[in-house]
Structure 1
Amino acid sequence: MKDQNILYYRLQLVLLSLIGIVLEVVKYGGYMFMYYTILSNAMVFLFMTYQVRLMMTQPKSVWSAPKVLRLKAAVTMAIMITMVVYHFMLAPIADDFWRVENIICHYLVPALMFLDTLIFDQQGQYKIFDPILWALTPLVYCIFALFNGLVTKIPIPDAKDSPFPYFFINVTKYGWGYVLRWVVVICVAYIIGGYLLYGLKSIRRKVRP
């Protein structure tokens, strides 16, 4: 695909991620940034804005450099876990699933980001330990969520487990054993998913003569 078409695709992804974030914040308030969903969508918005800017001002050797693509893979994994956790753990108990902003943030942005990384980015750019490093993102968020739930206790309106954003992080209600099991499961699944992405992006593509 021509670089110009890739640029248009990425501009749409920037716009879509921004729309999802704005809709969530305008409708429900700034506390939405306590949720991993909004933070991961913000990561997509910021990174893709950065990459689009590089595409518009720098040669391809810069915006497709290994360090840029490795960072992008970290963002891709961060938003993909948003979709996976929501779909399998939170969607079944959601009261208001069919909201435009919900579909954008949990499904459209993750899917489009994954396709962008899978299709447009050069193969063989990641290092063998990158998937483990990518797993730091949900781990840091869990620490942040636990700190808020136990120390700062900033209330999250409409959250059933406030001041914890998610039920599986509510250590006060379920105990440390329950929460740590979920954290381990999520991190292990995250690392496995990271190595799947690593494997897909390590496959050599045949170059047409």
Structure 2
Amino acid sequence: MKRQVIFYSRIILFILGFTGVYLEITRHGGFGMLLYYTVLSNIIVTAFTAYLLYLMPRSSSAWKTDKILRIKGGVTMCIMITCVIYNFMLAPLATDFYRLENFLCHYIVPLWFFADTLFFDKGRLYRWFDPLLWTSVPLLYMAFALLNGLILKMPIPGAVDSPFAYFFLNIPKYGGAYVFRWVIIIFVAYLGAGFSLVGLKALPRPRKMNSIK
């Protein structure tokens, strides 16, 4: 693989990410859509991709330093939880599944960014505690989502359980034990996925992959 391939792949990824976020906001309730983790995580990925595109023409190495790529690992996990939770927990309940923005935000952008990390980033750079740090974004969102649902009560466009963005956070409806159980399940799965990514990136890479410039 050559650097130009990575650059143009990320241009396409940025366009897809921007399009998905734009359509979600303009078609489904305006800026209230920012209360969804899906939209926020796609914004994070799109902005980070833009930052990588900004760095790549200006430096031969700044875009692939260990610090940048370790942060990128966290962004990867941040968006992949969007894909996994939607596919297994929310998609079966969706009544408007076949929408372009739905596929962009929940499948195409997350999987494209994951593939970018898996195949384009150098390996053996993560530290053992990185998966713990990567939990910060979903944990912060969960705290905010509960604050909004219980206290702020800002309405969430299209959410059945509004002002809770997702059914598994609705304490008044399902009870604290139910929500706590789901939070623990998701947290453990997220942490396990993070360590799995660390393990995957520690595997020996084909010689051609190690020659990316």
Instruction: Note whether the superposition's TM-score is higher than 0.5.
Output: yes
Match of 1:82 in 2: 82
Q: Which has the higher contact order (CA 8 A, sep 6+)?
A: 2
Question: SS at 2:45's partner residue?
Answer: helix
Runs of 4+ in 1 over 6 A off after TM superposition: none
Q: State yes or no: 1:51 paired with 2:52.
A: yes
Greater CA drift, 197-206 or 96-105: 197-206
Q: Residues 126 and 198 of structure 1 are in contact (CA less than 8 Å); yes or no, is this contact kept in structure 2?
A: yes
Q: Taking structure 1 as the reference length, what is the TM-score of the superposition?
A: 0.97
- 1:69-88: CA deviation from partner (whole Å, max 9, x where unpaired): 00001000010000000000
Matched residue pairs, number? 208
Match of 1:103 in 2: 103
Match of 2:177 in 1: 177
CA distance in 2, matches of 1:158, 1:144: 18
CA distance in 1, matches of 2:191, 2:51: 26
Question: SS at 1:201's partner residue?
Answer: helix
- 1:115-166: CA deviation from partner (whole Å, max 9, x where unpaired): 0000000011100010111112211111010000111110113211000000
Which amino acid is the alignment partner of residue 71 of structure 1?
I
Instruction: Give me the CA root mean square deviation.
Output: 1.2
Q: Residues 73 and 117 of structure 1 are in contact (CA less than 8 Å); yes or no, is this contact kept in structure 2?
A: yes
Q: State yes or no: 1:36 paired with 2:37.
A: yes
Question: SS at 1:164's partner residue?
Answer: coil
Q: Taking structure 2 as the reference length, what is the TM-score of the superposition?
A: 0.95
Which amino acid is the alignment partner of residue 128 of structure 1?
W
Identity %: 51
TM-superposed CA distance for 1:192, in Å, is: 0.5
Which amino acid is the alignment partner of residue 197 of structure 2?
L
Which amino acid is the alignment partner of residue 137 of structure 1?
V
Question: SS at 1:160's partner residue?
Answer: coil
Question: SS at 2:57's partner residue?
Answer: helix
CA distance in 2, matches of 1:64, 1:158: 39
Q: State yes or no: 1:2 paired with 2:2.
A: yes
Which amino acid is the alignment partner of residue 38 of structure 2?
T
CA distance in 1, matches of 2:162, 2:206: 52
